[in-house]
Chains A and B, each alone.
Chain A
Amino acid sequence: MRTVSPANNSDEIARVLARPPRSLWRDAWRRLIANRLARLGMAISIFFLLLAIFVPVIFPYNAKIDSDLMNQLLDPSLEHWMGTDEQGRDVMNRIAHGAQASLGVGVSAVLIAVIIGTLIGLVSGFAGKWIDLGLMFLMDILLAFPGLLLAIAVVALIGPGLRNALLAVATVSIPVYARIARSTVLSIKEQEYVTAARCVGSPSTRILFRHVFPNSLSPIIVQGTLGIAAAILEIAALGFLGLGQQPPYPEWGAMLADSVKYLTSGAWWVLLFPGLAIMLTVLGFNLLGDGVRDALDPRLRVD
């Protein structure tokens, strides 16, 4: 601990007061963009997000009529940069349009899971007693399954398809956020500002949403960013197993499943590029997530 002698104490205070106010978030943002790998991750993530948002708007695509049987499995060329697939469809075009399914659904799944999971965690940590016990028991049961297995089981139950895959992936990640939100709430509950709020007579819901919730956000944001990477992988895995996006609509995992049949014929491009798209997107969100973690909580930084 640093001790300040009374002589320069007032100087110190004056200097601190003279500094422009900096919020936690602005500080974190500054640390984030100072991190080279995080910037790279952000650039990759934003690129694919823009792809997912704008490509379907700017270049409308009708998957049902997009096949050109005269041009099956063409090598990459100037005309088709990433070649064509078994139905003569341009691979690059389908990857661009697949971004909406792979990335959009991954992000939505995480959003749903974060909202439901955080609510469960907040209520559980704040209410305590048997509500806590009951909710956490439910979460423990969901956590007793390996993630993909549970997602597969959910899709097997409600039927294959992109929307159901989204629900399955969201369901699987709910307990993760519930757990994090709860443990943060438990530690925040003991803080003095919460006691103070209680003393001045704030109602529980107000304390929960005004004081506890904003302060429990940062671990959830970190986990959420990394969770998008995991969700994209899970959506792709479900697509690969034929349980996600259904043909003829493009999705990266499902495109890889189609490429299996042409593995032995040497058509490497239908295999390489959709996988690269998945890997790059996931890498982007992983880098960004690591960066966000270091930025929000510098104490956790490894090196």
Chain B
Amino acid sequence: MLRYVIKRVLTVIPVLLGVSLLVFGFIRMIPGDVATVMLGERATPENVARVREQLGLNKPVYEQYLIFIGNALRGDLGRSVLRQEPVTQELLRRFPATIELALSAILIALLVGIPAGIVSAIRRGSVFDAASMLLALTGVSMPVFWLGLMLIFLFSVVLHLLPTGGRLGASMEFTATTNFLLLDSLLQGNFHVFFQALRHLILPAVALGSIPMAIIARMTRSAMLEVLSADYIRTAHAKGLKERAVVINHALRNAWLPVITVVGLQVGRLLSGAILTETVFSWPGIGRWLVDAIYARDFPIVQGATLFIAIIFVGVNLLVDLLYAFVDPRIKFE
């Protein structure tokens, strides 16, 4: 087991090196002079020279990469060209917002998707089964940004129930420590802020969670269906166990594996979806920051944020793989 873990962790290193090379290459592959592209045609020669200097574009390429990777390893991803803020610092400041959104989304997806899948499998062919699977099918086919806009239209514009975007109303005075607003407000005992933060979180979390929810529901259903026809389930029924015990202790326990895999596979979708959801809901996370930086042609931010998200993605996939091996003793550690 330990050998498998070490081996699996080691495979990540060349991939991350490749990722860093690709991300580094991005800026260098831009046609034309990067500094001019960033600052626009009307930039003064001094400014162009300053940006070239800041990005180290005057040095040989291999030296530029060594500097880039050396700095990145020390957690320095350069500075924004426009606002001169350090990219790493800004990333870390915005990261909790993205995590809060993504975690809430996956939580909603699990809380609704798994029970819906289980009930669909047990009552296969029922109206509930048909309805929830139809819903799941339309759920996976919906663009997440459209769902977000529709939710805003319905719950904010028409019904005036929830805010249209942001994490807290502009008038709220609140100093966050960890920048996980729900956590901070609870720790400080500020329930008014907690409630407001929750109200802002609901719509984006539902929008972002909808597709994973649909996929998890379908996967849980099919995994449960497969398990429910197994011999040991019939045995469990035959020895007089209650339906509940059969489903939870025997069926669900063995249906977990595909469900965990599918949850793991949602990480990429969540990160991609977060870019769109944050844009729709003006959510001050990494995704929206990245999109804004692309509009502004602020390439150090694009480079830093892309690298950061890719590292998170690779890291979570690694964790899921390890978890998978840990949960299923049948997997051979070769």
Contacts and interface: CB of A to CB of B under 8 A. Distances in A.
B145 to A, nearest CB: 5
Interface string A117-134: 000000000000000000
* Chain B residues touching A, majority SS: helix
Nearest to B225: A303
Contacts of A287: 137
A156 B293 CA distance: 10
Contacts of A303: 124, 222, 225
A146 B271 contact: yes
Contact of A271 (B26, B153, B268, B269): B153
Contacts of A243: 294
A203 to B, nearest CB: 34
Given A145-B310, A157-B29, A241-B291, A279 B143 contact: yes
Contacts of A271: 146, 149-150, 153
Contacts of A138: 18
A140 B18 contact: yes
A156 B268 contact: no
A266 B14 contact: no
Interface centre among A137, A148, A156 (most CB of B within 10 A): A156
A141 B19 contact: yes
B18 A275 contact: no
Given A146-B309, A146-B313, A152 B290 contact: yes
Nearest to B28: A157
B302 interface: yes
Given A144-B313, A256-B145, A241 B150 contact: no
B149 A259 contact: yes
A141 B143 contact: no
Contacts of B73: none
A283 B138 contact: yes
A263 B152 contact: yes
Interface stretch (B64-72, B88-96, B272-280, B326-334): B272-280
Contacts of A148: 272-273, 275-276
A155 B29 CA distance: 12
A146 to B, nearest CB: 4
Interface in B140-161: 140-143, 145-146, 149-150, 152-153, 157-158
A229 B314 contact: no
B83 to A, nearest CB: 18
Given A152-B290, A241-B279, A157 B143 contact: no
B295 interface: yes
A260 B150 CA distance: 10
Interface string B238-260: 00000000000000000000000
B145 A283 contact: no
Given A145-B310, A233-B143, A242-B295, A157 B30 contact: yes
B36 interface: no
A111 to B, nearest CB: 21
Nearest to B268: A146
A153 B295 contact: no
Given A147-B272, A271-B149, A271-B150, A286 B141 contact: yes
Interface of B: 14-16, 18-19, 22-23, 26, 29-31, 124, 137-138, 140-143, 145-146, 149-150, 152-153, 157-158, 164, 222, 225-226, 267-269, 271-273, 275-276, 279-280, 290-291, 294-295, 302, 306, 309-310, 313-314
Given A137-B18, A145-B310, A280-B141, 20 more contacts: A137-B15, A144-B313, A144-B314, A146-B309, A147-B268, A148-B272, A149-B290, A149-B309, A152-B275, A153-B23, A153-B306, A156-B302, A157-B29, A236-B143, A242-B295, A274-B146, A275-B146, A279-B143, A302-B222, A303-B225
